[in-house]
Amino acid sequence: MEPVNVVIDTNVIVVAFRSKKGASYKLLNSIADGIYIPNISVPLFLEYESVTKRDKLIEGLTEDDIDNILDYFLSQSNIRDIYFLWRPYLKDSKDDLVLEVAVESASEYIITFNKKDFNDIEKFGVQAITPQHFLKDRGVIT
């Protein structure tokens, strides 16, 4: 199965950092398996970094741990330059960051827990999908 382009929403990153159980953690751990190619922009990466380093949000990881995980994620990602902004398209400008990367990278999926925040993105050829649904579709979990 060929890897697909995806953009991962910040909420999935946070959940993966907070618990080693569940699909979000499995998704990040499977980055080296070649089932997907993560796409990111500098503003989206800064959003990941800002949110994961909020005081008391992620317990059990030091700031260095977070930096190391994010650095590895970045090293496995396609860094996209955004030349055309779709804003405002969605209700939340932070979600627009995600959509812009998805459109620029021709990603098939935005992996998120907040599918309702990405209403009407199918016209861009992108589907909002949960981590669990994505992993099931890719045959990683049953």
CA distance 14 to 11: 5
**DSSP 8-class letter at 115:** G
Helix (H) or strand (E) holding 6: strand 4-8
What homologous superfamily does CATH list for 4-137?
Answer: 5'-nuclease (3.40.50.1010)
Q: What is the pLDDT of residues 18-74, one digit of tens each?
A: 999 999 999 999 999 999 999 999 999 999 999 999 988 899 999 999 999 999 999
Please tell me which residue, 120 or 77, carries the higher pLDDT value.
77
For the chain, the structural domain boundaries read 4-137
Please state the pTM of the whole predicted model: 0.94
Q: What is the mean pLDDT of the chain?
A: 94
Looking at the predicted structure, is the pLDDT value of residue 100 above 80? yes
pLDDT for position 90:
85
The pair of structure tokens assigned to 33 is 């398996």
Looking at the predicted structure, is the pLDDT value of residue 85 above 80? no
Total residues found in the chain within this entry: 142
Centroid of chain to Cα 38? 7
pLDDT for position 66:
96
Long-range own/partner contacts, residues 53-59 (CB < 8 A, 24 or more apart):
57/14, 57/18, 58/14, 58/17, 58/18, 59/18
